[in-house]
């Protein structure tokens, strides 16, 4: 079997199967190289395909988008990298409404998916989707591979290699893949879509973000190091967030209003990309030897996996928070999940030897008296006094009702 024929089955396919029966439009969004194109071409093989990142294709569509769709593709079409031609949203909205009205006359309440959109840039697509296609489009978020999809059982390989599918199907290696990934990302999105000219400084900014994974973003220190104002730092953070490079976990508070005002911790969607940006990390063994990097990257791995599982289930809100108490009695709890009205408290430890004291901080928080308590680490899954210890590959147990 050649590399082109290799396909890694994705957990999110079940959600696509459900949504494709009920929405005229499906939008598959996620970072570059996460497998969006291969997924949709496998799932919708009957639909014509257009890559709007290609200038000639884009020019052809932009000449008359309405005519392009109506005269040629009323039976369906795939528009890859859709954010390059956001003008298509209004046409697809109108066409979808017409098709739904025809279906309603025949006694049908929904039509199978006709139009498939993909994008690696969330901000532009979300803005247009919210304005013009609410109720007509199912939004699917496809990140890099989950641990189950990659089959990676070694924690240090998982942290170092990450989950971009190409690293698992054709022999590419992180040492060459990630530098090229960063170069192409900065050139095609940072420069082209956002007009950020200082590409070297933006790459330095990405490296600083990687060093801060699992921590609060210190505007003063980062701004001083790069010579940038807070407004620019905010803009650049949103560029990374909107293109599915980073996400933010909120601080926990029982009050939603107070929770929104608490600080946020920064994480990368893919630990391989994060590791590649940290100085001195050139192999899984480097992570194993670097205590600070090992702890940060393992915590990032678990947070990222929880976010991915949340998207696979069809949810887009933050699935987990963290808790930090400052002052004389300072302590932290790595993750707090709310599930069906119940709380789950999780500590994340990059060790294969269980320590019962890992549950101590969870016992201190008054909201967590009746919470289910877990420790995620690299040792065996087992029931222990105070809760349950989970191997990092057994995270599905956190989502069981």
Domain co-membership, 101 together with 158: no
How far apart CA 373 and CA 398 sit, in angstroms, is 10
Domain assignment present for residue 186? The answer is: yes
Residue 310 resides in a domain: no
Pair 178, 294 in one domain: yes
Residue 368's pLDDT is: 93
Q: Are 118 and 37 in contact (CB under 8 A)?
A: yes
Domain boundary among the residues 141, 157, 180 is at 141
- Tell me the mean pLDDT in the region 200-217: 96
- The C-alpha atoms of residue 219 and residue 207 are separated, in whole angstroms, by 15
Residue 297 · residue 213 · CB < 8 Å: yes
**Domain boundary pick from 269, 304, 339:** 304
DSSP label of 10: P
Same domain (yes/no): 222, 280:
yes
Question: Which of 85, 112, 141 is the last residue in one of the domains?
Answer: 141
Q: What is the pLDDT of residue 347?
A: 97
- Kindly tell me if the per-residue pLDDT of 325 is higher than 90: no
Please, which pLDDT band fits residue 249 given cuts at 50, 70 and 90? very high
The answer to whether residue 326 scores a pLDDT higher than 80 is no
End-to-end distance of the chain based on CA atoms, in angstroms?
A: 40
pLDDT at residue 19, rounded to an integer: 95
Is residue 212 situated within a structural domain? yes
In tens, the pLDDT along 21-70 reads 999 999 999 999 999 999 999 999 999 999 999 999 999 999 999 999 99
- Identify whether 286 is part of a domain: yes
pLDDT for res 52: 94
Are 78 and 164 members of one domain?
Answer: no
Q: Domain tally for the chain?
A: 3
Is residue 81 a contact partner of residue 49, using CB atoms and an 8 Å limit?
Answer: no
Query: What are the CA-CA distances from residue 342 to residues 196, 254, 361 (Å)?
Result: 44, 12, 18
387 bridge partner residues: 384
pLDDT given at position 70:
93
CATH classification of the domain holding 113: 3.40.50.300
Report the C-alpha dihedral over residues 6, 241, 398, 283, rounded to 10 degrees: 60
Domain check: are 197 and 285 in the same one? yes
Q: What is the pTM of this model?
A: 0.93
pLDDT value, residue 383 = 96
Distance of CA 253 to the CA centre of its chain: 24
Q: Is residue 309 part of a domain?
A: no
> Is 401 a residue whose pLDDT tops 70?
no
CA atoms of 328 and 358, how far apart (whole Å): 20
Domain-embedded: residue 314: no
Same domain as 330, residue 210: no
User: Does 381 reside within a domain?
Assistant: yes
Q: Which residues contact 16 (CB under 8 A, 6 or more apart)?
A: 26, 28, 39, 43, 140
Whether 92 and 197 share a structural domain: no
Which tens digit of pLDDT belongs to each residue from 169-208?
A: 988 999 999 999 999 999 888 888 788 989 999 999 999 9
pLDDT tier for residue 1 given thresholds of 50, 70 and 90: very low
Cα-Cα-Cα-Cα dihedral sign, residues 215, 397, 382, 368: positive
206 and 102 housed in the same domain:
no
Q: Return the exposure string of 154-182: e unless at least 16 CB atoms fall within 10 Å of the residue's CB, then b.
A: ebbbbbbbbbbbbbbbeeeebeebbeebb
Share of the chain above pLDDT 90, in %: 76
Shared-domain flag, residues 133 and 164: no
Same domain, 178 and 232: yes
Does residue 313 form part of some domain?
no
Residues 159 and 296 in one domain: yes
Give me the DSSP letters along 205-247: HHHHHHHTTTEE--HHHHHHHHT--HHHHHHHHHHHHHTTSEE
Tell whether the model's pLDDT for residue 82 goes beyond 50. yes
Range of the domain at 392: 322-399
Q: Are residues 157 and 257 in the same domain?
A: yes
Q: How crowded is residue 390: how many other Cβ atoms within 10 Å of its Cβ?
A: 21
């Amino acid at each position: 079997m050649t590399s082109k024929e290799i396909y890694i089955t994705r957990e999110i396919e079940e959600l696509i199967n459900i949504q494709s029966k009920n929405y005229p439009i499906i939008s598959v969004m996620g970072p570059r190289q996460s497998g969006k194109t291969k997924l949709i071409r496998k799932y919708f093989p009957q639909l014509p395909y257009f890559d709007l990142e290609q200038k000639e294709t884009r020019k052809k569509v932009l000449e008359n988008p309405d005519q392009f769709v109506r005269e040629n593709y009323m039976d369906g079409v795939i528009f890859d990298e859709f954010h390059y031609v956001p003008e298509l949203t209004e046409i697809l909205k109108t066409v979808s409404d017409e098709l739904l009205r025809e279906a309603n006359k025949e006694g049908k309440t929904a039509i199978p998916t006709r139009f498939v959109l993909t994008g690696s840039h969330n901000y532009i697509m979300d803005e247009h989707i919210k304005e013009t296609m609410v109720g007509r489009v199912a939004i699917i978020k496809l990140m890099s591979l989950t641990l189950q999809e990659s089959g990676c059982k070694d924690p240090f390989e998982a942290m170092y290699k990450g989950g971009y599918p190409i690293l698992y199907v054709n022999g590419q290696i992180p040492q060459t893949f990630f530098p090229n990934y960063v170069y192409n990302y900065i050139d095609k999105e940072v420069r082209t879509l956002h007009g950020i000219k200082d590409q070297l400084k933006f790459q330095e900014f990405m490296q600083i973000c990687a060093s801060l994974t699992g921590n609060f973003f210190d505007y003063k220190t980062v701004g001083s190091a790069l010579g940038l104002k807070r407004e620019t730092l905010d803009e650049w953070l949103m560029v990374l967030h909107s293109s599915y490079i980073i996400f933010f976990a909120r601080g926990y508070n029982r009050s939603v209003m107070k929770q929104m005002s608490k600080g946020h911790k920064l994480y990368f969607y893919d630990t391989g990309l994060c590791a590649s940006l940290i100085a001195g990390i050139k192999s899984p063994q480097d992570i194993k030897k670097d205590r600070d990097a090992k702890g940060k990257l393992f915590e990032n791995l678990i947070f990222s996996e929880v976010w991915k599982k949340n998207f696979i289930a069809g949810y887009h809100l933050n699935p987990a928070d963290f808790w930090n108490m400052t002052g004389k009695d300072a302590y932290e709890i790595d993750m707090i999940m709310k599930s069906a009205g119940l709380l789950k408290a999780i500590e994340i430890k990059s060790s294969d030897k269980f320590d019962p004291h890992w549950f101590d901080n969870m016992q201190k928080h008054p909201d967590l008296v009746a919470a289910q308590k877990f420790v995620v680490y690299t040792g065996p899954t087992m029931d222990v006094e105070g809760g349950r210890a989970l191997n990092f590959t057994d995270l599905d147990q956190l989502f069981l009702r």
